[in-house]
Amino acid sequence: MITKAVSVKGRGHHLSAGFGLLLAAMPLLAAERCSHMPQAVGERRLGEWIHADNWLDAGSRRATLAAATTFMPAFRLSTSSAGDRTQTKTRTLEFDKIPVKDPADGTRRDLAFLLQTRLDADALVVIKNGQRVVERYWHGTPPNKPRLLLSGTRPVLSILGAITVSQGRLAADKSVARPIAPLADNAALRKLSARRLLEGDVGYGWRAADIADWQRAGGWTAASGEGVRTWLTRLETWTALAPRHGLSPAEGRPEDDLLAWAISEASGSSPARLFCEQFFANMRPEDIAFWLTDPGGHELAAGLALSPRDHAKFGQLLLDARPGSKRGRIPDWLIEALLAPTSGSGDTALAGLPAGSTLRYGFVRLGGKGNRIALIGPYGTSLLVDFDRRLVVAIHASHADADSALLRATLQEVWHSIAAAA
């Protein structure tokens, strides 16, 4: 088989369609074992007081993030291995005896206090050397229910985009709108290449009214909307490109939905189906997953929901994808880009994380010694992957802030103490 190389300039990385060879050689069983079915929206109410207009409010989220399909339609993802429970080889970690420094006031506390009081953690799952060694749940959180990751889905979308580029289906240095027929002639999008959108270091200067309109179109804040693709085709939608600093807001950004659409058109498959066949079916998931859609049935870029255990298993999949392992399905160049040493002080918008931390492809490459990356969603939900320690820490939380320096510093302290103790 002859493959064509696709060179991508910027940050010294190179994309090669030769990785299509690896993907083409994947077992066909993955697709056969993966079920991808539409899930109708529920009653749009949870109990007496939570409804479609307030389900993402701070007081509702602990209950609603694990019941997202009550409020929005989705695809239901499952595999033939679902229900195959992995026994947790529990280590005795007495959280109330593990000392930490409280980022809120600098005092000496314990890990239990930090998790429950400062982070508002609902679930914690730790994998060490491929074995689940710790799991804890609070506030009545069910271990088997998929929880909406919101903007924590963006790194997953980047991986799917990287695969599509490596297969030669999405031209990295061409406009991201090129494979999207209704947008192919959009002059305002010609400056935005697929590579730049994947890397995630540029965006658009959205007004608050734009974001509110986009959220309504996607169905996030209304019982029905026009759908994100209709919204994205408006010529007046797109304004000048600008540097994009910091983590995405809770529901992500409109350009993330643009990336999801480009991946779908270029690959001939939807993001939910790609994720199910390329990754979910090979994780040996223990529970079902969901990927939320807009009213038109198109996947939302911030729509993936995974159970705490399967969220941790996705982190293990990233560990196994390290270049040279021959076990991963993620292009080597992406893992190399994520782990490349940082230089300088890093992204100032990531204050609270170690100095030198940078955003790369929606992931955070953590500064300091070692090879660590994090997938950070809103409200404290996060996934730490420590390649040196062979450690994965999945946290589902319901913090009042979607993102803040204090919240990031709290996550860093939790990760540090667990790494030292586990």
pLDDT in tens, 163-173: 999 999 999 99
Q: Is the pLDDT of residue 13 over 60?
A: no
Task: Kindly report, residue by residue over 209-223, the tens digit of the pLDDT.
Answer: 999 999 999 999 876
Q: Token pair for residue 209? A: 């009214």
Q: How confident is the model at residue 326 (pLDDT cuts 50, 70, 90)?
A: low
In whole angstroms, what is the distance from residue 88 CA to residue 312 CA? 12
Contact 371, 388 (CB under 8 A): yes
Q: Is the pLDDT of residue 395 over 80?
A: yes
Beta bridge pairs of residue 77: 36, 289
Task: Kindly report, residue by residue over 276-299, the tens digit of the pLDDT.
Answer: 999 998 889 999 999 999 999 999
Count of C-beta atoms within a 10 Å radius of residue 193: 22
State residue 417's pLDDT score: 97
State residue 250's pLDDT score: 96
Q: Is the pLDDT of residue 56 over 90?
A: yes
Q: Is the pLDDT of residue 74 over 80?
A: yes
Q: Token pair for residue 342? A: 């940082």
What is the arithmetic mean of pLDDT over 188-205? Answer: 90
**Which pTM was predicted?**
0.90
In whole angstroms, what is the distance from residue 155 CA to residue 162 CA? 10
3-state helix, strand, coil in the chain (%, to 5): 35, 20, 45
The correct CATH number of 5-87+122-421 out of 3.40.50.620, 3.40.710.10, 3.40.50.720, 2.60.40.290 is 3.40.710.10
Q: Is the pLDDT of residue 3 over 60?
A: no
Alpha carbon of 107 to those of 101, 113, 414: distances in Å?
6, 12, 15
Q: Is the pLDDT of residue 415 over 80?
A: yes
Q: Is the pLDDT of residue 29 over 60?
A: no
What is the arithmetic mean of pLDDT over 112-125? Answer: 97
The DSSP call for residue 147 is E
- Name the nearest CA neighbour of 198 among 240, 245, 156: 156
DSSP for 189-253 reads GTT-BHHHHHHT-EEE---HHHHHHHHHHHTSSSS--S-HHHHHT-GGG---EEE--SSPPTT--
State residue 32's pLDDT score: 45
Q: Is the pLDDT of residue 259 over 90?
A: yes
Tell me if residue 50 falls in helix, strand or coil: strand
